[in-house]
Amino acid sequence: MQLGSIVLISLGVVFLLLGAIGILRFPDTYTRMHAAGKCDTLGALLVVSGLAVHHGLSLESAKILFIAVFIFLTSPTATHAIARAARRRELPLWTKDQRR
């Protein structure tokens, strides 16, 4: 049980780190939202699942898994809402002509 929680939490931290790097490195709002939506959701789910595995079969792990379901439902919805607001404000897409 200890090894499983360590693996899940470590994988979650790796995905969260990759998402943070993606947010810093990607050129425009839409690709940054992709990194935030995919990597951060998966990373948070893995970390929370690792915590649930660490607590074993108990009321605490049930509450933690409820938080995981909440993250699974709300994080992509929030990312979609932010991307839709950016599209409505007509934020430009990145092109190769816009090099840094």
Give the 3-state DSSP-derived string for the chain, with helices as H, strands as E and coil as C. Answer: CHHHHHHHHHHHHHHHHHHHHHHHHCCCHHHHHHHHHHHHHHHHHHHHHHHHHHHCCCHHHHHHHHHHHHHHHHHHHHHHHHHHHHHHCCCCCCCCCCCC
- pLDDT score at 100: 57
- In sequence order, which residues have a C-beta less than 8 Å from that of residue 57 and are 6 or more positions away? none
Phi-psi bin for 56: left (phi > 0), alpha (psi -120 to 50), beta?
Answer: left
What is the average per-residue pLDDT within 65-89?
90
- Name the token pair of 29: 């709002």
Would you state the torsion angle of the CA atoms of residues 73, 10, 7, 63, taken in this order, to the nearest 10 degrees? -40
Domain extent listing, the chain: 2-88
- pLDDT score at 98: 65
Q: Which of 30-34, 74-78, 94-98 has the lowest mean pLDDT?
A: 94-98
Task: Say whether pLDDT at 58 is over 60.
Answer: yes
Record the pTM: 0.83
What percent of the chain shows pLDDT beyond 70? 96
Task: Give the span between the Cα atoms of 50 and 22, in whole angstroms.
Answer: 23
**Mean pLDDT (the chain, rounded):** 89
